[in-house]
Amino acid sequence: MDEQDSDQLQFRRRDAAECKTFIAALLKLAFAQGKQRDDRWMADSAAARMADDALVWWNKLGEEVQGSWKLLSQAMLSEYRPMFYGGSGEEAEKFILAVLEKAIEEGKGKDNEWIVTYIEPCFAGEALRWYTCLDSDTQENWKKLRQALLIQYPRGGIGGPAVNLVPSAPTAASFVPAPKATLRGRIKISNSSSSTIHYLSKSLPSGKRVVSTSSIADALELEWSISSDGLQTLSIPGSQIPGYNLLGVKWRLDDTSQQNNYLGLCVVDSQTNSTSISSFPGDLLTNAWKISTDDRRSDSILTVSVLVGKEKLHSRWQDSWSGVWFSEEKYNSTYSAVSALVVTGTKPQGGPLMLREF
């Protein structure tokens, strides 16, 4: 580093990248002048190059930190938390690792409360909107939050640059996905009787009905195309359940007017229209999912309903045997899903999307 470069070297406390570049440049300068072991000289050299917000920050430090390059450089680096913008699955993985490294460095690797408090201001852009919409149980549990991050931002998912993506916040009225845009997500189920997160499972039990699972690895992924109106189908990509490529619902009884009749979840082969459950003789429905925006909300949540004719059926869930089904509001109310079925996924261009409430 020549004398002119040395005079131009400044630290303004913009971001972590600037901080690391400044420290590296100052070390290079110290080596060039044979001062790399002179702790006080390096601290004074750094102080002389503080500007703007960095100078204000430096003036608030104690004399011991101001006078020691080792302590000063540590203080500089500790100022910057890892930030997560929701750009991609790879960014989510790097963010989780950065948080874990910081927690271990501080001796807080097993301290759940410390970690969730530390990361609260680390979300920005679309990721902040997603984080704010999470239930408090997930926000306050680092294990559940890690799982939610990896589900919302899957590896290989479409997203923008990991650090540079800072999308503008859409309003509820302007949030209209492009016609035929393909979205992907998992269905998350919650109920007041269980504090454990469940998802629709891709493993079929002996009865061949679609049930729930608490394992993320066993969760079924679905794809769908959003349009402004009309009913939708939910497809099953990637041969997750061999022989079936759609998620459907089927009436338990032929006569839909009979009391306590209900729709069971099943998987369907679109080529033959055959289903995974043979014990339900009633009609099969695959194009029964109504997906729409709610303009009254400010968080761009999409609502999903099961419609039979003009009637909306209500989701039911029995935790003890993992059953999921739909019925009229007056039936099976004991098993009503409090938060219903929540689908989380990503929309094209990397913005997060949450679909909730069957």
261-314 pLDDT per residue, tens: 788 888 898 888 888 887 888 888 888 777 655 444 444 445 556 766 666 666
The residue ranges of the chain whose pLDDT is under 70 are 1-7, 156-182, 190-195, 207, 226-230, 256, 291-305, 307-315, 317-321, 328-358
Whether 328 is in a domain gets the answer: yes
pLDDT digits (tens, 9 = 90+) for 38-68: 999 999 999 999 998 889 989 998 999 999 9
Q: What is the pLDDT of residue 186?
A: 76
Q: What is the pLDDT of residue 227?
A: 56
11 and 50 Cβ atoms separated by less than 8 Å: yes
Q: What is the pLDDT of residue 140?
A: 92
232 and 290 Cβ atoms separated by less than 8 Å: yes
Q: What is the pLDDT of residue 232?
A: 77
* 133 in the same domain as 262: no
Q: What is the pLDDT of residue 349?
A: 35
For residue 307, report the phi and psi dihedrals to the nearest 5 degrees.
-115, 135
What distance in Å separates the CA atoms of residue 94 and residue 80, rounded to the nearest whole number? 15
Whether 225 is in a domain gets the answer: yes
* 241 in the same domain as 100: no
DSSP assigned state of 133? T
Return the half-sphere exposure (C-beta side, CA atoms, 13 A cut-off) of residue 23: 17
Length of the chain: 358
Angle subtended by helix axes 39-48 and 69-78, to nearest 10 = 50
Residue by residue, what is the 3-state secondary structure of 66-89? Answer: HCCHHHHHHHHHHCCCCCECCCCH
* 43 in the same domain as 187: no
| Element of type H or E holding 94 | helix 89-105
Q: What is the pLDDT of residue 346?
A: 42
* 242 in the same domain as 341: yes
Could you give the dihedral angle defined by the CA atoms of residues 279, 285, 291 and 296, in that order, rounded to the nearest 10 degrees?
Answer: -80
As for how many domains the chain has, the answer is: 3
* 67 in the same domain as 16: yes
**Containing domain of residue 111, as a range?**
89-152
* 145 in the same domain as 187: no
Q: What is the pLDDT of residue 104?
A: 92
Q: What is the pLDDT of residue 46?
A: 93
Q: What is the pLDDT of residue 357?
A: 35
Whether 136 is in a domain gets the answer: yes
* 246 in the same domain as 205: yes
Whether 124 is in a domain gets the answer: yes
* 219 in the same domain as 101: no
